[in-house]
């Protein structure tokens, strides 16, 4: 259960309009857009940020990055949503697993290096 109120077209007028469009796109109104649906300016800003991030990357690469970050951050919601999007974009299950392996390995290195405050000697 979410720790915030879900705004299923009960937010401000701008949020309702955006949610109507999202519902048409997805065939339903995903929970993430209900949770963000109180304030249309906020919802619009989040959607613009998502659209502009990674501009120039092909859809498969962008989805694999999102999956890797979501897995390491422990966001099951994003992992599920973007696994579906990645598969629809032509990414394979092996690609998804490989991306998560890379993210997990680098996360382990990051944790180790941060925990000992290791000084970088590999700068270019």
- pTM summary value: 0.86
- Residue 6's pLDDT is 95
Structure tokens at 89: 């974009």
DSSP the chain: --SS---SS-S-HHHHHHHHHHHHHHSS--HHHHHTTT-HHHHHHHHHHHHHTTTTS-HHHHHHHHHHHHHHHT-HHHHHHHHHHHHHTT--HHHHHHHHHHHHHHHHHHHHHHHTTPPP----
Domains of the chain from N-terminus onward? 7-53 (no CATH), 56-117 (1.20.1290.10)
What pLDDT shows up at residue 1? Answer: 65
Kindly give the parts of the chain with pLDDT less than 70: 1
Determine the pLDDT at residue 124. Answer: 85
Task: Report pLDDT digits (tens) over 92-116.
Answer: 999 999 999 999 999 999 999 999 9
């Amino acid at each position: 259960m979410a720790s915030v109120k879900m705004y299923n077209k009960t937010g401000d007028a701008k949020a309702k309009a955006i949610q109507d469009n999202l519902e048409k796109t997805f065939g339903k109104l995903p929970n993430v857009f209900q949770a963000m649906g109180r304030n249309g300016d906020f919802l619009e800003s989040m959607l613009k940020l998502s659209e502009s991030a990674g501009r120039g990357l092909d859809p498969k690469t962008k989805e694999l990055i999102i999956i890797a970050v979501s897995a390491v951050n422990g966001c099951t919601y994003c992992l599920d949503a973007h696994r579906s999007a990645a598969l629809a974009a032509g990414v394979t299950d092996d690609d998804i697993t490989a991306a998560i392996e890379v993210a997990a390995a680098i996360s382990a290195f990051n944790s180790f290096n941060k925990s000992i405050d290791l000084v970088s000697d590999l700068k270019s």
